[in-house]
Structure 1
Amino acid sequence: MQLGVTFPQTEIGADPGAIREYVQAAEGVGYKHLIAFDHVLGADITHRPGWQKYTSQHLFHEIFVLYGYLAAFSQLELVPAVLVLPQRQTALVAKQAAEIALLTAGKTRLGVGVGWNEVEFEALGVDFHQRGRLIDEQIEVLRLLWSQESVTYKGRFHTISQAGLNPLPPRHNIPIWIGGKSDIALRRVARLGDGWFPFPHKPNAEMQETLERLRNYTREAGRDPHAIGIEPRLEAAQYSFDELIEQVEGWQKLGATHITINTMNMGLKSPAEHIKTIMRFKETLDKG
């Protein structure tokens, strides 16, 4: 099971040197990949009472620009998890992801999801209520653009007339992993995904049932369930290190292929404290 870290988007700050130090520290102690969350805009909550999620006060680095920077000095696998795909132009995402794949010698996966922030969709000019139907077609178009030098396509949301990317990504493919916990999301993973990101969840009997449901959907789609990767995220803010180690063991038993630790929301005050925490977790895991 491959171990990675969640880039502390909202807490890392804006110092490129601190970002570099964090990533190099993660790589130096043996983490193999890095995931980062995606948001383009945050809502100003002055006139939005009760807003519970990310706001305009939360710092988010733009994910493809960030990964272009990291690829210059890191060998970590770089994984957007998840990119809010429906609010972005598909051909542009195909181009950006292909470039990250090129810069990392293929060490990337593209994690995608439908998103939840209607404020972002409005500002980016996309119908929030069409996002589920849109993402299915986007995944199809991404794979065409990555695999063919010239694409002609006519769908509900996309028209491409004899056009293509250059350069194409290594192996003419980028694995697409899908986030989400609804039954619709599970069926989308079964039909279209190379892997699934379960949102924070314990490796318990309920998750075992969910995974079996995913595997059944995958068989119904005519695909091999064992070809679908699974990557849960461990929330370090919610558990002791001993409990986190127990969760790692539990996920291994459930067949997870990757796992990531998230140190945001722990009350850590600096990038140095995030570094110290991921190093301590890795040392604890290695001893166990």
Structure 2
Amino acid sequence: MLTGVRFPSQEIGSDRAVVRDWALQAADAGFSYIVVNDHVVGVDPDSRPDYGAGFPDGAQRTAAAYSVDTEFHEPLTTIAHLSALCPDLGFSTGVLVCPQRQTALVAKQAAQVDILTGGRLRLGIGVGWNPVEYEAMGADFRTRGRRIEEQVSILRALWTRQVVDVDGEFDRVVGVGLEPRPPQRPIPVWMGGWSDIVLDRIGRMADGWYHGREWEPDVSEKFEVIAAAAERVGRPASDIGLEGAVELRYGLDGIEKRVQRWAEANATHLVVDPMHAGCHGSEHLDHLARIAARLSLRG
């Protein structure tokens, strides 16, 4: 099980020296990879009273903590920068809201990042939950599920074929190609989410499930949904990765047991999320040191 750490995008601030020192410290501590999350714009709930209406409970909690004041560093450009500082680490988006973006542009950007990282990118994608952000991006929130499935096919085609001919429901990518193509052909595509619809989609077409939360008792049950979908399309479920998380918002108490639960669930990856633990800016350097000492990643 590879252990990574989430870049504290919302809390680290914009001092590039702090960003640099944090990344170097993550590499020195023995983490295998860095995950960077995604939002393009925040929402002012005072001017958008519809924001959060009808969301599932999880999305309501997220919406309550996410506004125009929340900082999100753009994930792909951040990864490109961090990879120059940490040439031995892997990188992942966790997760990029793909259906609100232009498919060919995502393919181009991801290919370039894969080149700069030396083939060490995992592209984590998801459908998102924020219709206001979709509106700002000029995308249709209602069709995001169908669109992400088409996008995965187009992304892989652009990464692996010299000439692509896909005339889809949402994108017409006909008689075109993308160069330079990435070292990984294709780049691994992981998907985030927890609903049965998403789990079925992961089983049919994703390289891994980005769970992204603390271990829950129903993890194995949910992975069975993934496995069943994989079996229907002739895929071995063993080829599908699982990425769990340890969230430091719940403290360091019992962290060893929390990690062990993911190992027992056959997780292939585990990301440590240092956010929402009361740290901001350079405080995240000491916080990361405490986490690394507790996990003893260097043995």
Which residue of 1 is the match for residue 81 of structure 2?
A: 69
Which residue of 2 is the match for residue 181 of structure 1?
A: 194
Q: Tell me, in whole angstroms, the C-alpha distance in 1 between the residues paired with 2:240 and 2:166.
A: 27
**Deviates further, 43-52 or 244-253:** 43-52
1:121 is paired with a residue whose SS is helix
2:155 pairs with 1:155: no
The TM-score normalised by the length of structure 2 is: 0.91
Q: Tell me, in whole angstroms, the C-alpha distance in 2 between the residues paired with 1:112 and 1:269.
A: 27
Tell me which amino acid in the other structure corresponds to 2:40.
V
Q: Tell me, in whole angstroms, the C-alpha distance in 2 between the residues paired with 1:201 and 1:171.
A: 30
Q: Tell me, in whole angstroms, the C-alpha distance in 1 between the residues paired with 2:161 and 2:288.
A: 40
Aligned partner (choices 216, 241, 255) of residue 228 of structure 2: 216
1:186 is paired with a residue whose SS is helix
2:66 pairs with 1:54: yes
Which residue of 1 is the match for residue 102 of structure 2?
A: 89
- Equivalenced residues, count: 285
2:184 is paired with a residue whose SS is helix
Query: How far did 1:281 drift?
Result: 2.1
Q: Tell me, in whole angstroms, the C-alpha distance in 1 between the residues paired with 2:287 and 2:65.
A: 25
Q: Tell me, in whole angstroms, the C-alpha distance in 2 between the residues paired with 1:285 and 1:72.
A: 25
Retained in 1: the 8 A contact 2:20–2:82? yes
Identity %: 40
Q: Tell me, in whole angstroms, the C-alpha distance in 1 between the residues paired with 2:140 and 2:293.
A: 46
**Deviates further, 194-203 or 57-66:** 194-203
Retained in 2: the 8 A contact 1:147–1:172? yes
2:78 is paired with a residue whose SS is helix
Tell me which amino acid in the other structure corresponds to 2:278.
G
Superposed CA offset, 1:76-103 (max 9, x none): 2111110000000000000000000000
Which residue of 2 is the match for residue 257 of structure 1?
A: 268
Q: Counterparts of 1:89-238 in structure 2 under 5 Å? A: 89-204=102-217, 206-238=218-250
Superposed CA offset, 1:118-142 (max 9, x none): 1111011111101011000000000
Runs of 4 or more consecutive aligned structure 1 residues displaced over 3 Å after TM superposition:
48-51
**Deviates further, 66-75 or 30-39:** 66-75
1:109 is paired with a residue whose SS is strand
Retained in 2: the 8 A contact 1:181–1:199? no
Which residue of 1 is the match for residue 286 of structure 2?
A: 276
Which residue of 2 is the match for residue 79 of structure 1?
A: 92
**Deviates further, 170-179 or 67-76:** 67-76
1:64 is paired with a residue whose SS is helix
Q: Tell me, in whole angstroms, the C-alpha distance in 2 between the residues paired with 1:84 and 1:260.
A: 19
The TM-score normalised by the length of structure 1 is: 0.95
Which residue of 1 is the match for residue 60 of structure 2?
A: none
Q: Tell me, in whole angstroms, the C-alpha distance in 1 between the residues paired with 2:216 and 2:68.
A: 33
Q: Tell me, in whole angstroms, the C-alpha distance in 2 between the residues paired with 1:80 and 1:68.
A: 11
Query: How far did 1:203 drift?
Result: 4.4
Q: Tell me, in whole angstroms, the C-alpha distance in 2 between the residues paired with 1:48 and 1:94.
A: 32
Structure 2 unmatched ranges of 5 or more? 53-62
Q: Tell me, in whole angstroms, the C-alpha distance in 2 between the residues paired with 1:154 and 1:270.
A: 46
RMSD: 1.6
Retained in 2: the 8 A contact 1:203–1:247? no
Aligned CA distance change for structure 1 residues 248 and 142 (closer, same or farther; 3 Å): same
Which residue of 1 is the match for residue 56 of structure 2?
A: none
Q: Tell me, in whole angstroms, the C-alpha distance in 1 between the residues paired with 2:65 and 2:126.
A: 16
Q: Tell me, in whole angstroms, the C-alpha distance in 2 between the residues paired with 1:6 and 1:201.
A: 13
Query: How far did 1:48 drift?
Result: 3.9
Query: How far did 1:53 drift?
Result: 4.1
Superposed CA offset, 1:222-265 (max 9, x none): 111111110012111114x2422111101101100000111111
1:248 is paired with a residue whose SS is helix
